[in-house]
Amino acid sequence: MSQAPHDEFRDYVAARRPALLRAAMILTGDRVEAEDLLQAALANTYRAWGRIKDRTAMDGYVRRAMVNTQISWWRRRKFEIYPTDELPDQPVDDHTRRSEMHDALGRALARLPERQRAAVILRYYEDMSETEIAEVLGVSVGTVKSTVSRAVAKLRDDDALDLDFPDTP
């Protein structure tokens, strides 16, 4: 017996939301805007759910909806921005600094043993639970916990990550 369309959509969103949110973060550069963008794209996708025949292409459909929505938002914002002689009080985002931190993290991850690197990536990049990671790696949940713990400890001690990270609120 097949699922009702809204149940099928709910299951899709539950399974793919973390990956889709990461894509939205790349598009917006801001967590709150990314959540708004993903929500808008999922609303559009839900309205078209019955017309979408190829369920294997859903991620591409949602990503395209995010891009289209983001472009619409950019166009609308363009009319809301007015030039001024006054400088804003907020500091400008330093993309160079963020890139340096990203590169340093990539180098540090590359130095981890394969299982530790896989566990960290699955846990923090793919947002998988310890149980899901255990299934993927074919190990026990306890092994996942200790592997991630040791990997994070190594990353904290790694000299390549000795950047002066700004404090987060």
Each domain of the chain, given as residue ranges in start order, spans 5-78, 95-161
The dihedrals phi and psi of 123, each to the nearest 5 degrees, come to -75, -50
**CATH no. for 5-78:** 1.10.1740.10
Tell me the pTM: 0.46
Same fold, 5-78 and 95-161: no
Residue listed under structure tokens 């899709």? 12
Q: Two tokens at 76?
A: 């609308």
Q: Two tokens at 57?
A: 């292409």
Per-residue pLDDT of the chain (169 residues; tens, 9 = 90+): 456 778 888 999 999 999 999 888 888 888 899 999 999 999 999 998 888 888 788 888 898 899 988 888 877 765 555 667 776 666 666 666 667 777 877 888 888 888 898 888 888 877 888 998 998 888 999 999 999 999 988 888 876 555 444 443 3
**CATH no. for 95-161:** 1.10.10.10
**Which residues make Cβ contacts (< 8 Å) with residue 166, sequence separation at least 6?**
97
Judging by beta carbons within 10 Å of its beta carbon (0-12, 13-18, 19+), is residue 139 exposed, middle or buried? middle
Cβ atoms of 116 and 137 closer than 8 Å:
no
Q: What is the 3-state secondary structure (H, E, C) of 141-161?
A: HHHHHHHHHHHHHHHHHCHHH
